[in-house]
C-alpha cells in the first residue's frame, strides 16, 4: 500500500462529512433500503394476489443507498418468473414447469449461457420448434432466444436485457428486466470460498446466504458474442446485493466517490464504456484484497486512491473480472485504443492531484461543500456563515420526501393494476384478490404484511362501492356488509377512502352523514403536510412542502397513509355510486381514440378518476346545495 499524504486524515474526515450531508449516511442508507424493499413487496404481493407467479426485486444504487439527489441513479426492477425453471442437472427438472437446461460450452462467452428447451411433461429434450422464440442449432438442440422477453411499450426502449422508461422531471427512470430463476449456484461460486480473502471479507456466512439464493438468467448477450440472439447473461444481482448490504460506511463512501469521479471527469467529454458497475466491482475486489482496518473514515482518501489505482490497473490490462464469476471479463472489448489512452491519462491525473480534483465535482455541490469544510477553521467564503447554508438539512429532507412519494406511487400504481384486473370481472374476483392479500397481511413476513395492509383498504372501498352500485341498479336495499367494507377502507390514506364513502352516501341520499364525513375529512387535510399522490400516469413529481419532507425524514414508512392523499377512482361497475357529473368520465373515449391506446390505457379510460381535494370541494358544494345551506355552499 502506498504512503498517505500528511493531510489525508483531515481531508478524509471532511470528505466523509460531505458525503453524509448529501445523504450517504447510515440513517438515510437504511431508509433507502427499507423503502425499496417495501416497494419490492408491494409489487410482489399484488402480482401474487392476481395469480401472477412472479417475485419482484429492486436492484442497483437506489436500493443499495449508494446514490444522491443529483447522481440520480435509475431504479432497476427485476421480475423473477417462477413458471420457468433453469437447471444445470436433470435431478432439478420439475413437472409442469417451463424447464430450461443451462449450457456453458466453448460456444458461449464466459458469464453467459445457452438455454436448451426441455419438455414439461417428462424429463426429455424438446425436439420440435414450437414458435419463433425457439432455434435449432447445428447440434440439433432447441434453444430459447433471448428476444422472447422483449416487451417494448410506448414511452419505453430496449437497453440490453431491460425495458427502459426514461426519466420524466423528478420521476425516476426505470429499467425493467424479466429474469428466469436458477436455484443451483454456478461452479464459479466455489471461487468465493477458495479465494484468499485478506480482509476476511466476504465472510463464509455471506457467501452461504448468497449461494442459497441462486442466480438469474436475463435476456442479453455479450458484446463479443457469436450468437447474440441465443446467449443469456448469468445475473448474480442477489448475491451482489447481499455483499453491498454488508459494507461499512467508508467502503460505501469509496464507491460513491468513484461514481462522482466517473460522472464528473471520465464520461462528460465523450461516451465511455466505463460503467458504475465496473467501479462497484473494483471496490469489491479492493475490500477483499485489503486489510479490513484500512476502511476507516479518517482513511477515506487513502481508500479512494487505492480503488482508483486498482481501476487504472484493470484498464491497463484490459481485464476487470466479475466479482462472483471471475472468468467474465467486464472490460472485454469495451474500450477503443483512443478511449483507453484517455481513461489512463485522466485517472492518472486525478490520482496525482492529491485530492484537488475533488473540489471540481459540481454534482450535489460536493466540491464547494468540501471547500467550505476545509476552510471552516480558516477563512469562510464570502456570504457563507455556516455549513448549514449549503442546504444540508433541506437536501436530506427532500430525499426522504422523494422516497415516501415513490412508495406511495407504487401503492397507487398497484391498486390501478387491481382495478384493471377486476374491471371486466365480478365481485367474486375482487373478493378472491382481497382474500389473498389478507392472507399475506397475517401470515407473510413483516414487509409482506405492511405491503398488503397498504393495499387492502383501497380494495375494501372498491368492493363496498361495487356492492352498493349493484343494489341501486337492482333497486334493492343497501346491504349492511357493503357499508362495512366501505368503513374498512376509511384509513387507506388521509382522504380517498373517506371520499369514496361520502360519494356512496351522497348517491343514496344520506346527506347529513355526507356533510359530517366531508367536514372531518377537510379537517384532516393539512395542506402544509399532506401531499397528493396519483400513480395513474408517469407525470413529473411536483415540489413538496418542507414540512412534508421533514415528516418523512422523522418518521418511518408505516406513516405514509397519514400524510398522503390519493386520487379517488371509480370503475364502471361503481357508476351508481358516482355523482352524475363525474359519470361522464367513464364514457370519454371515442372508438377512434381507443384504437391508439394500449390495453391498460383503454381500461383506465373507462374509469372516473379525480384528485381528492377538488372532489372534496365538489361534494361539499353539491351537499350544501341539497341541504339548502346556500351560504356554506358559496
Q: What is the pLDDT of residues 510-569, one digit of tens each?
A: 999 999 999 999 999 999 999 999 888 766 666 789 999 999 999 998 899 999 999 999
Q: Indicate the CATH number for domain 1-24+249-390.
A: 1.10.1410.40
Each residue of 413-429: pLDDT tens digit? 999 999 988 877 789 99
Torsions phi, psi for 18 (to 5 deg): -60, -45
**CA-CA distance, 295 to 252, in Å (whole number)?**
10
42: DSSP letter: H
**d(C-alpha 249, C-alpha 374), whole Å:** 21
Evaluate if residue 50 carries a pLDDT over 90: yes
Q: Which of 46-50, 573-577, 587-591 has the lowest mean pLDDT?
A: 587-591
pLDDT attached to residue 592 = 75
Q: Is 248 exposed, middle or buried (0-12, 13-18, 19+ CB in 10 A)?
A: middle
| Mean pLDDT within 327-339 | 90
Range with top average pLDDT, 208-212, 241-245, 264-268, 591-595: 241-245
Question: Is 505 a residue whose pLDDT tops 50?
Answer: yes
pLDDT bracket for residue 155 (50, 70, 90): very low
DSSP string of 349-406? Answer: HHHHTTTGGGGG--GGGHHHHHHHHHHTTS-PPTT--SGGGG-HHHHHHHHHHHHHHH
Q: Are 449 and 455 in contact (CB under 8 A)?
A: no
In degrees and rounded to multiples of 5, residue 478 shows phi and psi of: -65, 130
What residue spans in the chain does CATH classification 1.10.1410.40 cover?
1-24+249-390
Which DSSP letter does residue 122 get? S
Which residue is associated with the grid cell 450468437? Answer: 227
Residues found in the chain:
634
Cα angle for residues 200, 9, 17 (degrees, 5° grid): 90
Give the least confident one: 75-79, 332-336, 600-604.
Answer: 600-604
Burial of 152 (0-12, 13-18, 19+ CB in 10 A): exposed
pLDDT score at 323: 93
Cα separation, 504 vs 93, in Å, equals 53
DSSP one-letter code for 148? G
Q: Which pLDDT score, from 0 to 100, does residue 2 have?
A: 43
Residue 21 · residue 373 · CB < 8 Å: no
Per the CB < 8 A criterion, the answer to whether 85 and 181 are in contact is yes
pLDDT at 377 over 60: no
Distance between CA atoms of residues 79 and 44, nearest Å = 9
| 432: Cα within 13 Å, side-chain hemisphere | 12
Cell numbers given for 537 = 400516469
Predicted TM-score (pTM) of this structure = 0.90
Band the pLDDT of 482: cuts 50, 70, 90: very high
pLDDT at position 558: 86
Q: Do residues 100 and 219 lie in contact, with contact meaning Cβ atoms separated by under 8 Å?
A: no
| Confidence grade of residue 390 (pLDDT, cut at 50, 70, 90) | low
CA distance 14 to 557: 31
**Region 569-597 average pLDDT:** 85
- Mean pLDDT throughout 616-624? 97
| CA–CA separation, 160 and 75 (whole Å) | 15
Percent of the chain with pLDDT over 70: 88
Q: How many helices (H) and strands (E) does the chain have?
A: 23, 16
Alpha-carbon span 549 to 399, nearest angstrom? 8
How high is the pLDDT of residue 209? 86
List the beta bridge partners of residue 135: 143
51-78 per-position pLDDT tens digit: 999 999 999 999 999 999 999 788 889 9
pLDDT at 208: 86
Amino acid at each position: 500500500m502506498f504512503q498517505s499524504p500528511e493531510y489525508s486524515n483531515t481531508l478524509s474526515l471532511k470528505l466523509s462529512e460531505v458525503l453524509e450531508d448529501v445523504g450517504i449516511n447510515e440513517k438515510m442508507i437504511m431508509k433507502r433500503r427499507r423503502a425499496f424493499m417495501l416497494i419490492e413487496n408491494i409489487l410482489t404481493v399484488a402480482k401474487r394476489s392476481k395469480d401472477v407467479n412472479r417475485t419482484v426485486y429492486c436492484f442497483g444504487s437506489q436500493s443499495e443507498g449508494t446514490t444522491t439527489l443529483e447522481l440520480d441513479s435509475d431504479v432497476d426492477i427485476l421480475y423473477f418468473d417462477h413458471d420457468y425453471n433453469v437447471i444445470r442437472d436433470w435431478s432439478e427438472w420439475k413437472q409442469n414447469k417451463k424447464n430450461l437446461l443451462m449450457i456453458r460450452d466453448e460456444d458461449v462467452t464466459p458469464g453467459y449461457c445457452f438455454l436448451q428447451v426441455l419438455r414439461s411433461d417428462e424429463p426429455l429434450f424438446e425436439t420440435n420448434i414450437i414458435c419463433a422464440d425457439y432455434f435449432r442449432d447445428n447440434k440439433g438442440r432447441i434453444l430459447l432466444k433471448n428476444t422472447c422477453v422483449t416487451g417494448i411499450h410506448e414511452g419505453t426502449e430496449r437497453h440490453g436485457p431491460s425495458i427502459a422508461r426514461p426519466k420524466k422531471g423528478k420521476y425516476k427512470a426505470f429499467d425493467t428486466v424479466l429474469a428466469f430463476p436458477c436455484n443451483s449456484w454456478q461452479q464459479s461460486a466455489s471461487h468465493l470460498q477458495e479465494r484468499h480473502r485478506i480482509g476476511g471479507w466476504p465472510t463464509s456466512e455471506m457467501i452461504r446466504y448468497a449461494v442459497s439464493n441462486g442466480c438469474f438468467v436475463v435476456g442479453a448477450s455479450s458484446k463479443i458474442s457469436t450468437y447474440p440472439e441465443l446467449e443469456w447473461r448469468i445475473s448474480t444481482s442477489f448475491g451482489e446485493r447481499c455483499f453491498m448490504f454488508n459494507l461499512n460506511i467508508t467502503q460505501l463512501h469509496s464507491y460513491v466517490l468513484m461514481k462522482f469521479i466517473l460522472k464528473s471527469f471520465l464520461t462528460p467529454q465523450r461516451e465511455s464504456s466505463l460503467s458504475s458497475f465496473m467501479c462497484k466491482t473494483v471496490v469489491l475486489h479492493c475490500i477483499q484484497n485489503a486489510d479490513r482496518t484500512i476502511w476507516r473514515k479518517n482513511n477515506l482518501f487513502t481508500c479512494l486512491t487505492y480503488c482508483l489505482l486498482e481501476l487504472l490497473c484493470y484498464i491497463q490490462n484490459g481485464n476487470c473480472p466479475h466479482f462472483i464469476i471471475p472468468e467474465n471479463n467486464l472490460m472485454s472489448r469495451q474500450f477503443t485504443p483512443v478511449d483507453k489512452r484517455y481513461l489512463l491519462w485522466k485517472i492518472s491525473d486525478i490520482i496525482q492531484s492529491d485530492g484537488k480534483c475533488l473540489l471540481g465535482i459540481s454534482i450535489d455541490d460536493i466540491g464547494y461543500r468540501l471547500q467550505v469544510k476545509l476552510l471552516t477553521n480558516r477563512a469562510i467564503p464570502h456570504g457563507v456563515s455556516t455549513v448549514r447554508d449549503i442546504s444540508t438539512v433541506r437536501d436530506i429532507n427532500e430525499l426522504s420526501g422523494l422516497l415516501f412519494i415513490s412508495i406511495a406511487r407504487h401503492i397507487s400504481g398497484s391498486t390501478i393494476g387491481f382495478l384493471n384486473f377486476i374491471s371486466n370481472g365480478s365481485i367474486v374476483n375482487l373478493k378472491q384478490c382481497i382474500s389473498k392479500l389478507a392472507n399475506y397481511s397475517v401470515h407473510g413476513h413483516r414487509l409482506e404484511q405492511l405491503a398488503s395492509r397498504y393495499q387492502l383498504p383501497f380494495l375494501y372501498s372498491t368492493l363496498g362501492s361495487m356492492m352498493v352500485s349493484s343494489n341501486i341498479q337492482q333497486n334493492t336495499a343497501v346491504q349492511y356488509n357493503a357499508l362495512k367494507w366501505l368503513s374498512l377502507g376509511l384509513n387507506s390514506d388521509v382522504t380517498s377512502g373517506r371520499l369514496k364513502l361520502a360519494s356512496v352516501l351522497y348517491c343514496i341520499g344520506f346527506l347529513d352523514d355526507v356533510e359530517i364525513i366531508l367536514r372531518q375529512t377537510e379537517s384532516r387535510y393539512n395542506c402544509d403536510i399532506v401531499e397528493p399522490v396519483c400513480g395513474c400516469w408517469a407525470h413529473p413529481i411536483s415540489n413538496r412542502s418542507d414540512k412534508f419532507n421533514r415528516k418523512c425524514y422523522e418518521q418511518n414508512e408505516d406513516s405514509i397513509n397519514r400524510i398522503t392523499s390519493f386520487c379517488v377512482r371509480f370503475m364502471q361497475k361503481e357508476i351508481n355510486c358516482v355523482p352524475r357529473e363525474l359519470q361522464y368520465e367513464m364514457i370519454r373515449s371515442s372508438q377512434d381514440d381507443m384504437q391508439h391506446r394500449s390495453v391498460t390505457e383503454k381500461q383506465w379510460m373507462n374509469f372516473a378518476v379525480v384528485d381528492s381535494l377538488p372532489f372534496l370541494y365538489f361534494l361539499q358544494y353539491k351537499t350544501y346545495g341539497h341541504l339548502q345551506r346556500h351560504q356554506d355552499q358559496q
